[in-house]
Amino acid sequence: MLHTEQAREADRATQVVGVLGADTRERVERVAVAAFMAARYGSLLRTATLLTGDGAERAEDLAQEALLRTYRAWHRIGREEAAEAYTRTTTVRLLIKDRRRRWHAEVPTEHLPETARSGHEDRVSTGVAVRALLRTIPAAQRAVLVLRGYHQLTEREIAGVDARHPPRRKA
């Protein structure tokens, strides 16, 4: 859990810098942001891949846009736990916003994609099947499934991510 240690170091540095000048504070903040992004990029990219259901290019765009927005809001976020939730929420909202704007249809290609290597067929075919099924449902529902199944978030945490449906009390 390297990113947890990096987060603790960044939190300690941020507390220490509270008594220092603004210039030093900005440098420490940049280091904390860089450590967060380096530690969380892989996980965020996997989440974006599951959310988009497409190729890696759209997932990378989504992950990078979410990290860019996290960077811009870092002074309001503060800690890594809040930054991770902010980034996840931003990723889902960007996906839903993008899905409303874009035309979605199959695009025929001249060449078929490469086939999976031997020994990985089962794992690859399962992943392909899951992503194909995820593509068949609306983006908001897909986001709930990814957040619940992949990130193991509770219903309340998921409701906090989806701004269109604020958390409700169960009867």
Nearest to 92 by CA among 165, 167, 41, 163: 163
In a domain, 75, yes or no: yes
In a domain, 12, yes or no: yes
Average pLDDT over residues 63-75: 89
In a domain, 21, yes or no: yes
Between 169 and 137, the higher pLDDT residue: 137
Average pLDDT over residues 48-72: 87
User: What is the domain count for the chain?
Assistant: 1
Instruction: State the distance between the two ends of the chain, measured CA to CA, in whole angstroms.
Output: 39
3-state SS, one letter per residue, for 49-117: HHHHCCCHHHHHHHHHHHHHHHHHHHHHHCCHHHHHHHHHHHHHHHHHHHHHHCCCCCCCCCCCCCCCC
In a domain, 170, yes or no: no
Q: Which long-range contacts (CB under 8 A, 24 or more apart) does 23-26 make?
A: none
pLDDT band at 90 (very low <50, low <70, confident <90, very high): very high
Measure the CA–CA gap between 94 and 158, rounded to whole angstroms: 15
**pLDDT surpasses 70 at 166:** no
pLDDT of residue 169: 57
pLDDT band at 17 (very low <50, low <70, confident <90, very high): very low
pLDDT of residue 65: 92
pTM score? 0.54
pLDDT of residue 152: 85
Residue 68 structure tokens: 């860019």
In a domain, 166, yes or no: no
**pLDDT surpasses 90 at 66:** yes
Measure the CA–CA gap between 114 and 124, rounded to whole angstroms: 12
In a domain, 63, yes or no: yes
pLDDT of residue 159: 82
Would you give the distance in Å from CA 165 to the centre of its chain? Answer: 19
In a domain, 114, yes or no: no
Residue 21: give the domain boundaries: 2-101+123-161
